Amino acid sequence: MSIFEYNGSALVAMVGKNCFAIASDRRLGVQLQTVATDFQRVFKIHDRLYIGLSGLATDAQTMYQKLVFRHKLYQLREERDMKPQTFASLVSALLYEKRFGPFFCQPVIAGLGDNDEPFICTMDCLGAKELAKDFVVSGTASESLYGACESMYKPDMEPEELFETISQALLSSVDRDCLSGWGGYVLLVYAALLTPTEVQEKILKGRMD
């Protein structure tokens, strides 16, 4: 098995109408053995920006710590939060710095930009950005996820429908992967008209085998 399949992971992010959702599985394993069923892979950068990191778990955690550090410095200098597009460029640059000894993680970035426009993108472990308008996937279950998202996705979904779609796509994909699953975690962010952005976090009941 390759280094990307050492811990096992599944990540997906989808765009809806003025909202986005990012979902991950909850398994941490050591090859075939499951070690934890409550592992966090989706991290908050600021209220309107989240990053999910798949691949080797230690690299995912280190990458997250480096990014939080860089974002806090940015906040001190610029006195504002980073835009998602800027953050994606930052992640890409940090990954390419390690071109000849990379971090073995593949990030999925999801955030709300200007005018509450949802933004999602993914990268490979060297920082090649892939912007998408509908959904992005990453992890050991990525091929199944591509298939599930392709068939279940519709543009301009309302938050409830988006939540349902992303949950079903994630659960049905990890059921075909030995190395990911054991529950799911979904985070839905939408810009409501009057109140500030609302965030819903839910844990999914999935197959535990």
Partner 1 sequence: MLLLVFGLSFLSFFPSLSLSQHFAPTRTKPHHRISVSLNLKQRKQREEKRRMMMKLDTSGLESFSAAVPSAMAAAEDQLFAPPSFDLPAGCADFDKFQMEAKQTLKHAKGTTTLAFIFNQGVIVAADSRASMGGYISSQSVKKIIEINPYMLGTMAGGAADCQFWHRNLGIKCRLHELANKRRISVTGASKLLANILYSYRGMGLSIGTMIAGWDEKGPGLYYVDSEGGRLKGNRFSVGSGSPYAYGVLDNGYRPDMTVEEAHELARRAIYHATFRDGASGGVVSVYHVGPNGWKKLSGDDVSELHYKYYPVQPTPVEHEMVDAPPA
- Which residues contact residue 30 at a Cβ distance below 8 angstroms, ignoring those fewer than 6 apart? 6, 7
Tally Cβ neighbours within 10 Å of residue 117. Answer: 13
Member of 10, 95, 179, 188 binding partner 1 (CB under 8 A): 179
Residues between 128 and 157 that touch partner 1 (CB under 8 A): 140
Q: Taking Cα atoms as reference points, which of 125, 122, 151, 123 lies closest to residue 22?
A: 122
Q: Which of 3, 93, 131, 203 binds partner 1 (CB under 8 A)?
A: 203
70 lies in the binding site for partner 1 (CB under 8 A): no
Residue 5 as a binder of partner 1 (CB under 8 A): the answer is yes
In terms of Cα–Cα distance, which of 125, 1, 155 is closest to 63?
125
25 binds partner 1 (CB under 8 A): no
Judged by CB under 8 A, does residue 33 bind partner 1? yes
Task: Assess contact for 68 and 13: CB atoms under 8 A.
Answer: no
Total interface residues for partner 1 by CB under 8 A:
34
Instruction: Please give the full DSSP string across 19-48, using - where no structure is assigned.
Output: EEEEEEE--EEETTEEEES----EEEEETT
Residue from 94, 126, 152, 178 touching partner 1 (CB under 8 A): that is 178
Among positions 3, 17, 58, 75, the unique one binding partner 1 when judged by CB under 8 A: 75
**Is residue 71 involved in binding partner 1 (CB under 8 A)?**
yes
Which amino acid is present at 71? H
Residues binding partner 1 (CB under 8 A): 1, 5, 8, 29, 31-34, 38-40, 43-46, 61, 65, 68, 71-72, 75, 140, 175-179, 201, 203, 205-209
